[in-house]
Amino acid sequence: MFRRAFIGYNPLSVRQFLERIEKEYEKLIQENGALLAKIENLNQELAEQITKLRSYVGEATARRAQIEQHKEVVDRLLLACHNWCESEIEKIRETERMEELSLAKYDEDIALREAAVENLRRSLTEQLSLLVDEAKKNVDAGKSQVQSSISQLDAITKGRTPVSFPAPSNKKTGQEVGTFDDKEPFAQSTGFGRRVVTIDDDPSICSIVRVVMEREGYEVEELHDGRAAIDYIKKNPPCAMVIVDLMLPFVDGLQVVRKIRATPGWQEVPVIVLSSNSSEREIIDLFKAGASEYMTKPFSTLELAARARRLLEKR
Amino acid sequence: MFQSLFHDPLIRAVVVFTGSLAFTALATLFLAVTWSFLAHLKEERSRLVQKRWLPVLAESAAGLPVHLPTLGPMDEEPFLVLWNHFQESLVGQARSNLIDLGVRLGIERKAKRMLRARSGFTRALAIMTLGHLKDESEWETIADIVEKNESIEGYIAAQALVRIDPKRAAPVVVPLAAKRTFWPQERVAAILKNLGPENIGDLLVRAVQEAPREAWPRLIRLLHLSNREQALAFVRRLLAIEQDPEILAACLVAVRQLGDNESIQAVRSLLFHPSWQVRVQAVNALAVMATRQDLDRLVRLLSDDNWWVRYRSAQAIVWLPFLKKADVEKIRSGLNDRYGRDSLERSIAERQTRDPTWQ
């Protein structure tokens, strides 16, 4: 059978064929080895990934447990807050009830006091009218006395010397009534507010302005930057006068002047601007913004007082 | 074992080096802490002095009778700082009142003592105090400091001389304005302003002429503080003959500062000078004296190559008193040059911001 199988075949070519098969076989073995190595690597990677995944799962489980714990704590806190708020609301309601009661009491009290004030006013009015009547009588009597004295004096002097009478005086103080003391603070003779605001970052300037204006009879409020000045203008009623430095921290004096002129109620407030070094154009801008007076530093205290007095007289 | 290790020269060197390094670090730390503590103490002292003396000084300046607290030796310096600050902030009777207060406290004696101190700050404070007190007894010492000391102390001394006696100080101080090139221009101008044109006379013009030419531009810019007639004559002569652009630019600044309308022809002739510094200053000078016939020149300069010239020309046009906003808008719409139009638009916007009522 073998002989028949090999009939017609060249033994040399069969050998070559076998060798080729052998080579193919070796090649296949090599490829198989490489594939096995790859599979081994992939297996290792897979094992690593599985390990990592397991650790992630572990971490996630631990975090979940933590979150659960935190949630419980938060729930407890929320509950505590809710309870506290409830109790506080209850307290506030209680306070409101008490306040309502006390307000009612206050209302009663106020009504009683108003009645008392009304009574007092009536009695005072009556007393005053009595006093006025008495004073009128006294004045009439005085007038007739004076007339008689004048006629007597005229009779004595026969019109040679003019007669002068001393001004009527307050019996208690001895001061003349109806005359003004030259050194009387100006603020006492005006009906406007007694508050002057000085805005300067230099405390020495503020203290000088304070002394000058207090001497004029005003209360002085000191502010040290432009931002504070803007806040003050927003939150407070208008004052008698503002004395502001041009160079201020945060917001400059020009902006402060503009704010004053733009704030209802403050438009008429006189503003004196103090500045150490300003250009011609800056001064023009200041007056356009609404500054009433401009003074350069160094300044005279007497001049400041005079300018302030003049501006306040205008009002 | 350690002894044998220490015999090794390398280890010994390392130990010595490390030890000295540690000692230096500790010493530096100690010095820093001490310095900081002393600075804090000084600041606290200054604050206390301010709290105690501020109302006293303010009341005294306003002429009110005051009860004087005791001035301790430690309080002298901060008090003098405050007293000098008040002197700088006030004029007139208030200054005299403060001098009276100073005399009552005997600060002239303290200042004379401090004049010989080692600390520069103390000496400067003493000089300033003597200047405000107008105390002539230390004139020679202060004049000597002015001559020899080129630093801020010299400047303070010059200012003190001017305060003590401006007439006597002028020949000492004015030539220094030319020599002390590193004193800030504003400070020099402040001294000259305190001297007054009546005391400066022709001293500044002479100082300019005697100074090296590179100092001229700086000094010419100060001429408006000296005698007007002499300054004008000098500036006009320079405008006619000078070629140096820097000097010409300075002369144009002086023309503007002096308000010399008679130099308008010279200013017009320099509007198209090759140097842009001269053109800018010519435009600035013309801005304050321009008439309607200068409008065309200013409009032409809106197309100048230099940004500053265009910008200043636009500003000059916008602020011309005889032009209304509509006129300026008309000029802007008639401009073909894009850069000139931009400059004018910017200046219009600037004026609108500064002056919202401009129509």
What value of ipTM does the predicted structure carry? 0.72
Percent of chain B beyond pLDDT 70? Answer: 98
Chain B hits for A205, CB-CB cut-off 8 Å, are 89
Q: What is the mean pLDDT of residues B62-78?
A: 88
Average pLDDT over residues B317-330: 93
Closest C-alpha among A254, A247, A257, A258 to residue A225: A247
| CA distance to partner chain B, nearest, from residue A277 (Å) | 11
Contact B82 A203 (CB under 8 A): no
Confidence check: pLDDT of A14 > 90: no
Lowest mean pLDDT among A108-117, B236-245, B249-258, B274-283: A108-117
Spell out which residues of chain A touch residue B79, defining contact as CB-CB under 8 Å: none
Q: Is the pLDDT of residue A268 over 80?
A: yes
Cβ contact (<8 Å) for B90 and A299? yes
CB contact under 8 A, A215 and B62: yes
| The pLDDT value given to residue A110 | 74
Mean pLDDT (whole number) for A155-166: 43
Which of B55, B62, B355 is closest, CB to CB, to A301? B62
For chain A, give the percent of residues with pLDDT over 90: 44
Mutate to test the interface with A, among B52, B354, B358, B359 (most CBs of A within 10 A): B354
Closest Cα in chain A to B57: A208
pLDDT band at A128 (very low <50, low <70, confident <90, very high): confident
How far does the CA of residue B91 sit from the closest CA of chain A (Å)?
A: 5
B89, A301: Cβ pair inside 8 Å? no
Residues of B with CB under 8 A from a CB of A: 50, 54-55, 57-59, 61-64, 82, 85-86, 88-94, 354-355, 357
Give the pTM. 0.62
What percentage of residues in chain A have a pLDDT greater than 70? Answer: 80
Per residue in B72-125, pLDDT (tens digit) is: 888 899 999 999 999 999 999 999 999 999 999 999 999 999 999 989 999 999
Closest alpha carbon within chain A to B352: A285
Output B3 or A175, whichever has higher pLDDT: B3
Residues of chain B in contact with residue A285, where contact means CB-CB under 8 angstroms, are 354-355
| pLDDT on residue A150 | 64
CB-CB under 8 Å, B61 with A299: no
Report the side by side order of strands in the sheet with A195-199.
A219-223, A195-199, A241-245, A271-275, A293-296
Q: Where is average pLDDT lowest: A81-90, A190-199, A303-312, B292-301?
A: A190-199
Residue range A150-159, pLDDT digits in tens: 666 666 554 4
Q: Which residues neighbour A288 within 8 Å (Cβ) at sequence distance 6 or greater? A: B355, B357
Query: Is pLDDT above 70 for A276?
Result: yes
Q: Which residues in chain A are closer than 8 Å to B357, comparing Cβ atoms?
A: 288
Among B54, B59, B92, the residue with its CB nearest the CB of A203 is B54
Residues of B in contact with A303 (CB under 8 A): 92
Look at residues A217, A230, A225 and name the one whose alpha carbon lies nearest to residue A199. Answer: A225
Mean residue pLDDT of chain B comes to 91
Percent of chain B with pLDDT over 90: 73
Is A179's pLDDT higher than 60? Answer: no
Q: Do A298 and B89 touch (CB under 8 A)?
A: yes
| pLDDT for the residue numbered A183 | 42
Q: Reply yes or no on whether the pLDDT at A185 is more than 70.
A: no
> What is the band of B160 on the pLDDT scale with cuts at 50, 70, 90?
very high
pLDDT over threshold 50, residue A69: yes
Q: How confident is the prediction for chain A on average, in pLDDT?
A: 80
Mean pLDDT value across residues A196-216: 93
Nearest CA in chain A to B354: A285
B349 to chain A, closest Cα gap in Å: 15
pLDDT for the residue A104 = 72
Q: Which fold has domain A192-314?
A: Rossmann fold (3.40.50)
The confidence score (pLDDT) of residue A167 equals 35
Query: In terms of pLDDT, which residue wins out, B243 or A109?
Result: B243
Q: What is the pLDDT averaged over residues B263-276? A: 94
| pLDDT number for residue A151 | 66
Which chain A residue shows the shortest CA-CA distance from B85? A204
Query: What pLDDT does residue B1 have?
Result: 57
What's the gap in Å between the CA of B232 and the closest CA on chain A?
22
Q: Which of B88, B90, B93 sits opposite A208 (nearest CB)?
A: B90
Is A211 in contact with B59 (Cβ distance < 8 A)?
A: yes
pLDDT at B181: 83
Size of interface A-B (CB pairs under 8 A): 61
Check: CB of residue B179 under 8 Å from CB of residue B164: no
**Cβ within 8 Å, pair A208-B50:** no
Cβ contact, residue pair A204, B54, below 8 Å:
yes
Domain limits, chain A:
192-314
Of B300, B296, B318, residue with least CA distance to B309: B300
Q: Closest chain B residue to A287 measured between Cα atoms?
A: B355
At B70, is the pLDDT very low, low, confident or very high (cuts 50, 70, 90)?
Answer: confident
Q: What is the mean pLDDT of residues B121-136?
A: 94
